[in-house]
């Protein structure tokens, strides 16, 4: 059985991550950016599946650029680590 070829090229993956970072940079503390929020606030991300966005956000989390947590409804919320540090949060 042959392997599956991804519909996302390396260039498109880089564009997705760049747009995620730019959109998260514009987010305020009150925004609580979920994948739905990110898609509503960036036209390029609106055509990307939620699964691909979650995977890309997880890769950014593994690089240490993004912090993730859960909101009151149990949905994942993403923030830039640098913006949280500038707001006074500390990380171990």
pLDDT digit string, tens, across residues 22-77: 999 998 878 889 999 999 999 999 999 989 999 999 999 999 999 988 888 888 89
Token pair for 41: 């606030």
- Say how many C-beta atoms besides its own lie within 10 A of residue 42's C-beta: 17
Token pair for 82: 């640098």
The pLDDT value recorded for residue 92 is: 65
The pLDDT value recorded for residue 56 is: 95
Predicted TM-score (pTM) of the model is: 0.86
Residue 79 has what DSSP assignment? E
- Say how many C-beta atoms besides its own lie within 10 A of residue 17's C-beta: 17
The pLDDT value recorded for residue 1 is: 55
The pLDDT value recorded for residue 90 is: 77
Q: Set out the domains of the chain in order of their start, with CATH numbers.
A: 10-86 (1.10.10.10)
> Average pLDDT in the 4-9 region?
81
CA distance 63 to 50: 20
In the numeric block, the tokens 């690089």 are attached to: 63
């Amino acid at each position: 059985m042959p392997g599956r070829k991804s519909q996302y090229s390396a260039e498109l993956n880089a564009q997705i991550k760049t747009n995620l970072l730019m959109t998260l940079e514009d987010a305020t503390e009150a925004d609580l950016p979920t994948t739905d929020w990110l898609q509503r606030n960036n036209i390029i991300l609106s055509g990307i599946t939620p699964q691909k966005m979650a995977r890309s956000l997880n890769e950014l989390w593994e690089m240490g650029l993004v912090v993730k947590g859960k909101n009151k409804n149990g949905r994942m919320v993403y923030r830039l680590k640098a913006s949280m540090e500038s707001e006074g949060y500390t990380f171990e």
